[in-house]
Structure 1
Amino acid sequence: MSAPSHHPAIDVHAHVAVPTADALLEGQPGLAQQRGVDAASLGAASLQLNLRQIAEIGPKLTDAGLRLASMDAARVDVQAVSAAPVPHLWTDRDLAIRYTAASNASVAAFCAQQPDRLLPIATVSLQHPDLAVGQLESAVRDHAVRGVQISTSAGPGRELDDPSLADFWAAAEELGTAVLIHPWGCTLGERLDAYYLFNTVGNPTETALALSRIVFSGLLERHPRLRIWSAHGGGYLASYVVRADHAWAARVDARTTEQPPSELLRRTWVDSLVYTPEQLRHLVTVMGPTQVTLGSDYPFDMGVEDPVDRLEAAGFDAATTDAIRGGNAARLLELDA
């Protein structure tokens, strides 16, 4: 039995709908094209189930009262709230400016209903790197966001280690803003069009790829104060980073950093959304007890309703349980104890 916690329970992975922002995308050719790509990757059965699910959980994505009741039932004290992932990297500069401003304002207004329990996470238009820097600065200044959510790439042909994003990473480090990496599907496309592989294989694959490019690029060595967090336990990378370490040791083309990949990965944070006690214990072994935070993925069906219960079921010592329950997230988001 774990000792009583000294930290509030902080769930870093939870979402809210931003209908005002999403309405700006309706009728745009880029949205129709994106929906076509997603439909082909999901497959007909998963697409129909997703549409039904969104209709069912809609109130949970918009009603603060329902959210707070769910948090109370889960023994979660605080949520970091980000917009429900909607691919918008196709937007042009004008639409990107309007969409991002509306999304950040919506998330901030939602969290303002209960500011001691709901913390806003921003969105930026990473496909326009110069805009992203200004958007991040504005979100911190105007909405007091605790972090920024990005996807696993900055659009076609631009990975997260692309030199054009150097100013964004520098700004995130300088502002002290945590960068939360959250995937949407996978670029493997129609190979994932059955059995919901779009999510079960696609999401962790995309996260592993994004983190691998970040690690091998030297980004974390160039920006030692940069705080990067990734959803779903960091995808597949945390389960098999030893292969990356072997490549780093065996091949000159992979020896791109002073520290091996596993050491650099341990400079990042991940959430606890790996479902079983055994997998969570492995994740903590790989990442270290200071780098794992609670994550529920509220209110989606691939999330969990009992992140604190699952943490306690892993049987960690009291200090580790307390850190994962809230202490690590407090450091990640620079929260006043």
Structure 2
Amino acid sequence: MEQVVRRSTNRDLAKRLTAIPMLFDLERRLAMMERWPRYAQVLTLSQPSADSVCAADESPALARLGNDGLAAVVDRHRDRFPAFVASLPLNNLPAAVEEFDRAVRQCGAAGVQIDTNVQGLPLDDPRFFPLFEKAVELDVPIWLHPYRGSRPADYPGEEKSKYEIWQVLGWPYETSVAMARLVFSGVLKRLPALKIITHHLGAMIPFFEGRIGSLWDQLGTRSADEDLSHVKEMLGRRPVEYFRMFYGDTAIGSSPAAIRCGLEFFGEDQVVFASDCPFDPEGGVGFIRDGIAAIRQLDLPLATQQKIFYGNTARLLKLGQAPLAREANHA
């Protein structure tokens, strides 16, 4: 973490890392988790990722350092942290594919987390396709996390995004765009077994189901400067059906209405519990407590709650029997 903070060019994120002890103080996190005796977390490294703070010749070593560290935490505290999600040096693709394989096969990673763009490149860039192929080969999920800073600005006439709009609203947009690019580039069509868990319960996609259906059903008929009809023909079915192939986590601000929206879009078999711990005003406790309560407030059948709290994650990550809730917590 010290290296990430020192090297990061995103000073907003670097400042937040050092201000949240639960990110780096393991004993403090374990003590906090004692509030829920049957609760456990699937760990991910917080942003910024290795490829966003190091050059291509240095990022592989930083990614390995982080992955080895999380693997050691899991080995020591498997009752609380049954699994971890690896990070990759995505600005060095050969090393990223190699680290993907090593982290899963040798370190026991449950999958990998990638950002919605890699130094401004979209994930449907052909250079990244081997990563998706590797996920299918290893039969592990990919966690998709949004990433952008206060620049570029929200308006071309300004220098930067104001009022933290870049994160609160910009991150869900980032995720939604990345999902769309993976759909329309044919990545999901080519790799139907690919499992991608989107942060914030699919971001904008579930809420805009109607627009996605009605407008993208007309793809290729309304653009004057390019012919997109071949994309629709390539997909072979409605675009909205491909969006339903993604998974979503429940880290969406503990809003019951938002969780219900995501559940109705993805279905109860493709939603997993997450809290965004420890990025709440209480340093972790609030998002866990309120996230569990939000799902309880929906009055879902017990079997559905069990799927969300543990069953779906257990199936995806090939875990054992359930405590109360296990989460991929993006922390």
- Structure 1 length as normaliser, TM-score? 0.81
Change (3 A) 1:220 1:74: farther
* Secondary structure of the structure 2 residue equivalent to 1:112: helix
Structure 1, unpaired ranges of 5+: 1-17, 40-46
Distance 1:67 1:335, change over 3 A: same
> Partner amino acid for 1:109?
A
Indicate the residue corresponding to 1:279 in structure 2.
258
168 and 238 in structure 1: CA distance in 2 versus 1, 3 angstrom threshold: same
Instruction: Provide the aligned length of Structure 1 versus Structure 2.
Output: 298
Aligned to 1:313: 297
1:71-86 alignment runs, 5 A limit: 71-74=33-36, 77-86=39-48
Of 171-180 and 295-304, deviating more is 295-304
Return 5+ residue gaps in structure 2 as ranges. 155-159, 221-227, 322-331
Give, in angstroms, the shift of residue 305 of structure 1.
Answer: 2.6
Q: Structure 1 residues 81-90 or 199-208, which shifts more?
A: 81-90
* Cα 1:184–1:75 shift into 2, 3 Å: farther
Q: Answer yes or no: is 1:329 the counterpart of 2:313.
A: yes
- Supply the AA of the counterpart residue of 1:173: V
Matches within 5 A, 1:1-337: 18-19=1-2, 21-22=3-4, 26=6, 31=8, 34-35=9-10, 51=15, 54-58=17-21, 60-74=22-36, 77-90=39-52, 91-118=54-81, 119-156=83-120, 158-185=121-148, 189-191=152-154, 193-252=161-220, 253=228, 255=232, 256-274=234-252, 275-301=254-280, 304-306=287-289, 307-337=291-321
Which is further off, 215-224 or 67-76?
67-76
Once residues 71 and 262 of structure 1 are traced to their aligned partners in structure 2, the CA distance between those partners, rounded to angstroms, is 38
What is the alpha-carbon distance in structure 2 between the residues aligned to residue 95 and residue 127 of structure 1?
10
> Quick one: percent identity of the two aligned structures?
27
RMSD between superposed Cα atoms in Å: 2.3
Cα distance between partner residues in 2 of 1:107 and 1:128: 21
The structure that is helix-richer by fraction is 1
TM-score normalized by the length of structure 2: 0.82
SS in 2 for 1:93: coil
Bigger drift between 73-82 and 92-101 goes to: 73-82
How far 1:176 moved relative to its partner?
A: 1.2
Change in CA separation of 1:240 and 1:74 when aligned onto 2, cut-off 3 Å? farther
- How big is the shift at 1:194? 2.5
How far does residue 188 in structure 1 lie from its aligned partner after superposition?
6.0
